[in-house]
Structure 1
């Protein structure tokens, strides 16, 4: 049973004559007749009684029709899905970005893509890197930007840029102008990404550094947004971590100053995709735009 046979059968069934079916399919009447005859032979049934004017469908034809519609519909859906992989006229691009995407030069990403490809729907998800990685692993997202380290054997990881992590405080400068983990603890630790907790890659680095120094990290306050953490720091509540991207973009409130760590503290921003998975052309284009934006913002 072929799709061509099913198309000929459905056209004949709905239009009532082989001539009308042939016109609909833009083939000869003999081709439609042969396709229907082959289908009848393969199924071992009679589908039509050939009348003087019209085809009279049999009970077998009535039963076959909904299955034929489903098969042809599934084939059309599959073809459309494959077209969306290579076309920028339709489809959906699904992409994950860092929660604080605007600080990383990504604020105009969606607008630039939509202006160039208005027919493509965009699903841009801003999450903590831990959750972006999990969503790409599961296939919920085609690709995403994350901060490393990410523990996964199912992701392709393309490092893009390295950003500095700094000590942010409204208090006095640390000794020598460079901070230690002890300075952070002494000031009172304010951390963001409360929902992700210690699954957050930058937090995990902080925890590893504290353990290596024999120190314990007990945050005084945990909030979800980096802006909230910096606002608390500006009010003298404690100190926090901040990426150099936020500092460069002017994201520090008045009265808050950032300092490097005595032992350089860095985070790597990377593009992740699922190993062996096909990525639509639309998502590939968004990924390239994101990579260029990230690199431009991190000279």
Structure 2
């Protein structure tokens, strides 16, 4: 309040005008500024015949006071919006296979809860979502790790096993080595992102450590297309366990774990040190609730690895 009184006096030129601007008495304004001068150990104003003049110390303080008052006003506005959520826009990125883990129309749910808030949900590969968040194009997102986390806060929240999938029941009778996987004809999806895709990154790293190379004979964009080609015998692929419980999984296909189990880890991501808007924070909380609720059903396949308190701490960073 002292900085607010100081700023008002500097802008208005008199304690009386500052008091009127802030809805306070003139003695109260004078007392606030006197106490500020005592704390700082410097005079901030010189009284002229009709108006106040800033001292050199006052001139140094003014831009900082303006910034502090503006920040306080924005903070108060954010709190009010959080209480009411009567406006603003929520921006959130979703991994392309989000339906396998949430089984929820987040946009519909969010608008039902907060009809006055706009929402922008972007579904894309996790590598691109992470890049858009780092560049400030999105506030937050739910992605699959690993990603380039430069400039990002990352909170792992769940993990799901990645399985080998084939049309040959014999090949699915036992766990699959990375050497055997790399040796067979492969049909892989997320062609646009290729090596940047989180699952492809893990497969490539494992193959490299074994002296192998992942070289698919077919690359397509969508999992559904890849599964169709696997069904017709063009090669083998990978699939997350959650997808095997969905309608996208053909009955003719068979799955097996890798010798060293492979997992995709789901994580909330935001810009490092960036406080989320109330609208986007509410959307993250809604996504978390949907994720936990779906994993408690028979169709849920992912293992929750975070606690509610972890999510709340992440949102406050």
User: Are 1:279 and 2:276 counterparts?
Assistant: yes
User: Are 1:135 and 2:117 counterparts?
Assistant: no
Q: 1:234·1:254 contact (CA, 8 Å) conserved in 2?
A: no
SS in 1 for 2:141: strand
- Larger of the two Rg values belongs to structure: 1
CA distance in 1, matches of 2:8, 2:109: 40
Offset at residue 88 of structure 1 (A): 1.1
TM-score (norm 1): 0.71
- Counting only pairs closer than 5 Å after superposition, residues 103-122 of structure 1 correspond to structure 2 as 103-122=100-119
Offset at residue 254 of structure 1 (A): 3.0
User: Are 1:183 and 2:180 counterparts?
Assistant: yes
Give the equivalent residue in structure 2 for 1:291: 288
1:236 alignment partner, one of 219, 233, 237: 233
Offset at residue 80 of structure 1 (A): 11
Q: 1:86·1:280 contact (CA, 8 Å) conserved in 2?
A: no
Aligned CA RMSD, in angstroms, stands at: 3.0
List alignment gaps of at least 5 residues for structure 2.
Answer: 1-6, 12-20, 24-50, 53-69, 304-317
SS in 2 for 1:177: coil
TM-score (norm 2): 0.67
Shift in CA distance, 172/185, structure 1 to aligned 2, threshold 3 Å: farther
Give the equivalent residue in structure 2 for 1:205: 202
Offset at residue 86 of structure 1 (A): 5.8
Give the equivalent residue in structure 1 for 2:190: 193
CA distance in 2, matches of 1:266, 1:79: 40
Q: 1:230·1:252 contact (CA, 8 Å) conserved in 2?
A: yes
Paired residues in the alignment total: 239
Offset at residue 117 of structure 1 (A): 0.7
Deviations 1:259-296 (A, max 9, x none): 11121111110001111112111211111121222232
Give the equivalent residue in structure 2 for 1:268: 265
List alignment gaps of at least 5 residues for structure 1.
Answer: 7-24, 28-40, 43-73
1:249 alignment partner, one of 246, 249, 266: 246
CA distance in 2, matches of 1:91, 1:117: 10
- Counting only pairs closer than 5 Å after superposition, residues 146-225 of structure 1 correspond to structure 2 as 146-174=143-171, 176-225=173-222
Offset at residue 78 of structure 1 (A): 6.9
Offset at residue 93 of structure 1 (A): 0.2
Give the equivalent residue in structure 2 for 1:61: none
Q: 1:128·1:200 contact (CA, 8 Å) conserved in 2?
A: yes
